[in-house]
Amino acid sequence: MPESSLIGKRVEVLDKGYIELVDMLPHPDTGISGDLAIVNAARVSFLGESKGEEKDKRLLFYLMRNRHTSPFEMVEFKFRCHAPLVTWWQWVRHRTWNMNAQSGRYTPFEEDDFYVPDIWRLQAVSNKQASEGEVDAQTAAQLTEKLAAHYQQGFQLYQEALAAGVAKEMARLFLPGFSVYYTWVIKTDAHNLLHFLRLRMASDAQYEIRVYAQAIYEHFFKPALPWTAEAFEQYILNAD
């Protein structure tokens, strides 16, 4: 996929979430690919200079294999992301991202904008912070029904507080905290994004952030930086 067609592309994630590429550096209008920007940064050269595809790709693979990371910082991705707070609670731990979030103090939350899981996972026995397996179908249906009722009541109380003139920053206390969807604008460079992807695409990462990491990698990172993705899979992702 041409890089120019990636900007503005939106991919749905979870039940109501999405990830959208807002901008990237180098911008596709420059005619310089992200992979070439990385290679030329390593050469301390002018953007656009190339020694041919074979030599360029060989250098990029050398950089990845030997963990020469700074050239990968020359490429940046900016996303708009709509995700539940349970996802952001994991995401903000990566302090290499620049972030600006929707504010519940200024913008009222929309009805039914709460995360409803497809499955209910069981607590892992040997890992206190992980899950494994699923609850049975009947119990799952009962839990989903109760969760929907909880959301409905919380949002009704939220609206009643707003109607009574309560400040939005206080009325939101009625909303179910971990499940409410927030919209953020987020930006990071390719080096730090690869670190995020290595950790959050792993099988032991929490599902609610893993699906966002997988969407970023498959729908945006790989099409924008095919050489980098290939080298990442060969030397980093599959080497762990």
The residues assigned a catalytic role are 200
Q: Which two tokens stand for residue 235?
A: 């030397």
Partners of 181 in the β-ladder = 84
Q: What are the C-alpha distances in Å from 10 to residues 69, 165, 208? A: 28, 36, 18
> Which three-class secondary structure string do you get for 194-218?
HHHHHHHCCCCCCHHHHHHHHHHHH
Distance separating alpha carbons of residues 87 and 212, to the nearest angstrom: 9
Instruction: Judge whether 10 and 228 are in contact, CB under 8 Å.
Output: no
Distance separating alpha carbons of residues 124 and 133, to the nearest angstrom: 8
Closest CA to 114 of 82, 142, 139, 91: 82
